[in-house]
Chains A and B, each alone.
Chain A
Amino acid sequence: MNPLIRECKILVRSPADTVQSVLFVVIVVMLFPLAISPDPTILAGIAAGLMWVVALLASLLAAERGIQADFADGALEQMVLGKTPLWLLCSIKAFAHWLSCGLPLLLITPLLGTMLALDGLEIFWMLASFALGLPILSLFCTLGAMLTVGLDRGSALLPLLIAPFLIPTLILGTQWVQSGGQSFYGYMLAALLSLSVVSLPLATGVAARIAVSR
């Protein structure tokens, strides 16, 4: 069975994981107007940054899901031993993270934007920044999970280790929306995405080899 189909089947059979990501994001975004102010001008001012922070936290929360299970049941060992290139399997792992966390987030962005009083154009730029930025988060989170899987208190180490690398994406994404779609930020985000797509699965593969030898 194709590894991609395997990941999709696992996702479909554990829908609670995806629901958890979505609920987390919706609840946090819902709480902000209640806690800060329902004033649309204040909300629209912080909306982009807020949504990016929530997306980052949701990605970190979902990071260990697929990796932890594969490590515990020994599938990771078999992936490392097999002939299928490890970078490919790691790319698929990152894609699965995006499917269970990034994609649902992208789909509810119009709803979240409306809750935070963004107008149509701002929601469009929010979608654009998520479309380019969330895959970067998924790639980094998969790398982080692979580096810490099997370690004592690895779950605590993961955000500390990986959050600094997520900050450029957060800044570029937020700035892109707040600047009303200035192309510089879009290009930078696209460049970061291209760089991550080609390099991080290789690093994740090396991390997987180290993880199974522990």
Chain B
Amino acid sequence: MLQVNALSCHRQGEWLFKELAFSVSGGELLEIRGDNGAGKTTLFKILAGLFDDYEGEVTWEIQDPPLYVGHRFGLNAQLSPVENLSFLVSLNQNAPARKDLEVALGRFNLADVLDQPCRSLSEGQRKRVALARLELTDSQIWLLDEAFSALDTKGRQVLTELCQRQVAQGGVVIFSSHQPVSDFDSARVLALGKSV
């Protein structure tokens, strides 16, 4: 599904990574590891198609654009979780029904704050709103940058389950994390910063 060849990228004159090559096929879980500043976020942006100042080739064989959850969640402070989620999902597919939104948010333990403006939510809550998209999306590829940080145990558990379901259905999950995620036993690891 994804083929990366000789991918090199530099910022401010320093190589973030050089000649990176890997491929991912359906049903695979790829963990991207690396220290702060190793280029994890840049790699995610390149894979998502947000950043194109690189050398090498990135080839996707997919219909729908990948779903990318980054450091910024795309939640407007004035809108409620339900409204934000509905907007984000409907950018790629038909607008979801209110009931589905409630189920998705409820799964991430947000049933009490469904209609509160997002500015009153904590960082962890907003992260969970952004992750509730995973429940509703048709996208085959998930790009989850630091998705596991700032989550409570319950949240991590739900996210792990969703990722496992996605992989079981033949999708692809590419994620990064600071602390090792022991919840997956089948994840392949791509280490950044050592290949240079």
Count of B interface residues, CB-CB < 8 Å: 31
**CB of B19 closer than 8 Å to a CB of A:** no
A1-21 to B contact mask, C-beta < 8 Å, 1/0: 111001001100110000000
Q: Within the complex, what minimum Cβ distance (angstroms) separates A141 from chain B?
A: 20
Q: Within the complex, what minimum Cβ distance (angstroms) separates A82 from chain B?
A: 3
Give the CA-CA distance A81 to B139 in the complex, in Å: 12
Q: How large is the interface on A (under 10, 10 to 19, 20 to 34, 35 or more residues)?
A: 20 to 34
**Are B79 and A81 in contact, CB atoms less than 8 angstroms apart?**
no
**Are B65 and A82 in contact, CB atoms less than 8 angstroms apart?**
yes
**CB of A46 closer than 8 Å to a CB of B:** no
**CB of A213 closer than 8 Å to a CB of B:** yes
Interface of B is mostly: loop
**Are B77 and A69 in contact, CB atoms less than 8 angstroms apart?**
yes
**CB of B95 closer than 8 Å to a CB of A:** yes
Query: CB < 8 Å: which of A9, A13, A73 contacts B75?
Result: A73
Closest to A76 in B: B74
Give the CA-CA distance A213 to B50 in the complex, in Å: 5
**CB of A111 closer than 8 Å to a CB of B:** no
A67-85 to B contact mask, C-beta < 8 Å, 1/0: 0011011110111111110
A-B contact list, 21 entries, CB within 8 Å: A1-B86, A3-B91, A6-B76, A9-B78, A10-B79, A73-B75, A74-B72, A74-B74, A75-B87, A75-B88, A77-B72, A78-B88, A83-B64, A83-B65, A83-B92, A84-B90, A84-B92, A213-B45, A213-B50, A213-B52, A213-B53
Which positions in B face A, CB cutoff 8 Å? Answer: 45, 48-53, 64-66, 68, 70-79, 83, 86-88, 90-93, 95, 117
Which positions in A face B, CB cutoff 8 Å? Answer: 1-3, 6, 9-10, 13-14, 69-70, 72-75, 77-84, 212-213
